[in-house]
């Protein structure tokens, strides 16, 4: 619990109107998308970087833990205040697009700028910010950087880290640091911006972000391909990319996901649809669109594709994407609780990985619908259990642990985009050696020796 002197000190920094410790705020900031519940002792809305510095300096001196928070949309508990303390919430004040530099094609934003708002702002000027997590309509850029968010366009354009040019951040002791530059090339010193990206608020609090932008492509089209089974679809993924295709997105839905969409939403899909591949292509000339679509269609046909649909108009493209964008809520037909993991494997391992994942599900008696970003090897694995039965939950977590071990043995990773947070922290020993874990701890100690910044996340 905060003492009266603590609250008074924070009021002197940010004003009484920017600090709350009433029950309503404590509950509102106790959750994220995991639906786990941990209440903070107070919520503070800093007005600027100087406020952040002063708050961290005070907390570091008095041993008060800090949890930075964007929109609270994470799936692994990265923004949950498990140890109480202060929620540092940015959405009230630090939510501005500070600059869109057309000449150097970059944007400078504060951490609480919503991803979709940035996309719209730069596209209005003929530019393009590709990272598009599923939560793009409400997740913030600061959260995206802290989790290294991906999205459906990662197959062609990469993920958040590929667009972070520079950061401003505050260390636990209140020191303000700059990491990176506005230049395309910069090899002077350690890549601190790279270390802070995906650090989940455990090393420093990000206060400003400089992002690379691209020219907006002039043309785009969407496609949907139907396959008899997942193995055929996954073979088509890496073989089509190896043959020269470069799609913006290449998403997949397995047979369980297709069935759930048909049942829950009434979407008409062929009875023999054992798997779907859905995606986009783009380019600055129509010939590039035609080339990409033809390359995909030819390669898909060689790998068992029974139908290939193309759409170029926005309404028709939206219809193609409808199934993929709504699949997550549909798979609840298989169980009241979804143990959702976002593992990633080398693309050539996708057929084997999915086959083994289904075997693990069968071993425990669970349906495991899978969908996700096949173009970059990122699978959303959903172990469906009855959330009211403790024994089923336990078995579900056992299945998840086996899936994690399988993925790591294949050269993959525990998370492609959701991060580690609290929910995956117990499995870090599967993915990293004791020496590697020790290095993480050393880095954490160098930035935050008193462990006040988001303690417990990533097992730190």
What's the confidence (pLDDT) of residue 272? Answer: 74
Q: Are 403 and 364 in contact (CB under 8 A)?
A: no
Query: Could you tell me the pTM of the whole model?
Result: 0.95
Q: What is the pLDDT of residues 274-302, one digit of tens each?
A: 999 999 999 999 999 999 999 999 999 99
Is the pLDDT assigned to residue 271 strictly greater than 90? Answer: no
219-328 is classed CATH 3.40.50.300: no
What does DSSP say about strands 214-215 and 176-180: parallel, antiparallel, or unpaired? unpaired
458 in helix, strand or coil?
A: helix
**Closest by Cα among 393, 292, 320, 407 to 355:** 407
What's the confidence (pLDDT) of residue 112? Answer: 98
Query: Alpha helix locations (H) across 124-212?
Result: 141-147, 154-157, 192-196
What's the confidence (pLDDT) of residue 290? Answer: 96
| Strand ranges inside 171-302, DSSP E | 176-180, 205-212, 214-215, 219-227, 249-254, 275-283
Query: How many other CB atoms are found less than 10 A from the CB of residue 242?
Result: 11
4-92 and 219-328 in the same fold: no
Alpha-carbon gap, residue 383 to 412, rounded angstroms: 19
51 in helix, strand or coil?
A: helix
Query: Token pair 């349906």 is at which residue?
Result: 367
DSSP string, 59-94: HHHHT--EEEESSS--SS-TT--TT-SEEEE-TTTS
What are the C-alpha distances in Å from 105 to residues 126, 197, 410, 429, 448? 10, 21, 38, 41, 34
Alpha-carbon gap, residue 109 to 107, rounded angstroms: 6
Average pLDDT over residues 403-416: 97
Alpha-carbon gap, residue 247 to 351, rounded angstroms: 20
Q: What is the pLDDT of residues 19-52, one digit of tens each?
A: 999 999 999 999 999 889 999 999 999 999 999 9
Q: Which residues contact 17 (CB under 8 A, 6 or more apart)?
A: none
What's the confidence (pLDDT) of residue 1? Answer: 78
DSSP string, 278-323: EEEEEESSHHHHHHHHHHHHHHHHHTT--EEEEE-SHHHHHHHHHH
As assigned by CATH, the class of the 97-215 domain is alpha beta
What is the residue-averaged pLDDT of the chain? Answer: 96
448 in helix, strand or coil?
A: coil
Average pLDDT over residues 361-383: 96
Q: What is the pLDDT of residues 125-135, one digit of tens each?
A: 999 999 999 89
With vertex at residue 21, the alpha carbon angle to CA 172 and CA 1, rounded to the nearest 5 degrees, is 65
Q: Are 312 and 346 in contact (CB under 8 A)?
A: no
Give the residue with greater pLDDT, 136 vs 271. Answer: 136
Is the pLDDT assigned to residue 123 strictly greater than 90? Answer: yes
Q: What is the pLDDT of residues 310-357, one digit of tens each?
A: 999 999 999 999 989 899 999 999 999 999 999 999 999 999 999 999
Q: Are 199 and 248 in contact (CB under 8 A)?
A: no
Fold for the domain defined by 4-92:
3.30.43
Alpha-carbon gap, residue 54 to 450, rounded angstroms: 16
335-431 is classed CATH 3.40.50.150: no
Query: Token pair 């009855």 is at which residue?
Result: 386
What's the confidence (pLDDT) of residue 35? Answer: 84
Torsion sign (Cα): 443, 447, 449, 454: negative
Alpha-carbon gap, residue 166 to 196, rounded angstroms: 10
What does DSSP say about strands 66-69 and 86-89: parallel, antiparallel, or unpaired? parallel
Q: Are 237 and 374 in contact (CB under 8 A)?
A: yes
Alpha-carbon gap, residue 369 to 328, rounded angstroms: 10
Q: Are 414 and 407 in contact (CB under 8 A)?
A: yes
For the chain, domain boundaries: 4-92, 97-215, 219-328, 335-431
């Amino acid at each position: 619990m905060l003492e009266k002197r603590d609250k008074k000190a924070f009021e002197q920094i940010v004003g009484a109107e920017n600090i709350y410790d009433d029950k309503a705020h404590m509950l509102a900031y106790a959750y994220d998308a995991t639906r786990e519940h941990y209440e903070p002792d107070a919520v503070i809305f800093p007005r600027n970087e100087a406020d952040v510095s002063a708050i961290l300096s005070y907390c570091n001196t008095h041993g008060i833990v800090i949890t930075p928070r964007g929109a609270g949309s994470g799936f692994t508990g990265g923004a949950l205040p498990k140890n109480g303390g202060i929620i540092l919430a940015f959405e009230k004040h630090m939510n501005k697009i500070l600059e869109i530099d057309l000449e150097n094609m970059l944007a400078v934003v504060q951490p609480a700028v919503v991803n979709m708002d940035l996309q719209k702002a730069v596209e209005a000027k003929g530019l393009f910010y590709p990272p598009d997590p599923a939560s793009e309509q409400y997740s913030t850029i600061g959260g995206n950087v802290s989790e290294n968010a991906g999205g459906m366009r990662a197959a062609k354009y990469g993920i958040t880290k590929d667009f972070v040019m520079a950061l401003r951040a505050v260390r636990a002791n209140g020191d303000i640091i700059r990491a990176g530059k506005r230049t395309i090339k910069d090899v002077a010193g350690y890549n601190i911006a790279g270390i802070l990206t995906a650090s989940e608020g455990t090393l420093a609090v990000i206060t400003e972000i400089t992002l690379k932008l691209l020219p907006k492509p002039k043309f785009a089209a969407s496609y949907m391909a139907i396959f008899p089974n997942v193995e055929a679809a996954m073979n088509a993924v890496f073989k089509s990319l190896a043959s020269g295709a470069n799609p913006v997105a290449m998403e997949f839905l397995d047979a369980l996901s297709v069935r759930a969409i048909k049942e829950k939403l009434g979407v008409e899909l062929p009875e023999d649809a054992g798997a779907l591949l859905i995606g986009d292509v783009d380019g600055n000339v129509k010939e590039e669109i035609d080339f990409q679509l033809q390359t995909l269609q030819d390669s898909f046909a060689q790998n068992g594709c029974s139908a290939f649909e193309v759409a170029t108009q926005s309404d028709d493209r939206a219809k193609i994407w409808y199934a993929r964008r709504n699949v997550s809520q549909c798979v609840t037909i298989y169980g009241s609780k979804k143990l959702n993991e976002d593992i990633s494997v080398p693309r050539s391992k996708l057929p084997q990985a999915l086959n083994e994942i289904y075997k693990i599900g069968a071993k425990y008696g669970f349906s495991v619908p899978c969908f996700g970003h096949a173009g970059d090897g990122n699978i959303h694995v959903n172990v469906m259990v009855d959330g009211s039965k403790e024994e089923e939950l336990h078995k579900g977590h056992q299945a998840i642990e086996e899936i994690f071990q399988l993925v790591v043995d294949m050269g993959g990773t525990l998370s492609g985009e959701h991060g580690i947070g609290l929910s995956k922290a117990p499995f870090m020993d599967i993915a990293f050696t004791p020496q590697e874990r020790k290095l993480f701890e050393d880095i954490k100690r160098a930035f935050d020796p008193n462990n006040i910044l988001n303690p417990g996340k990533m097992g730190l």
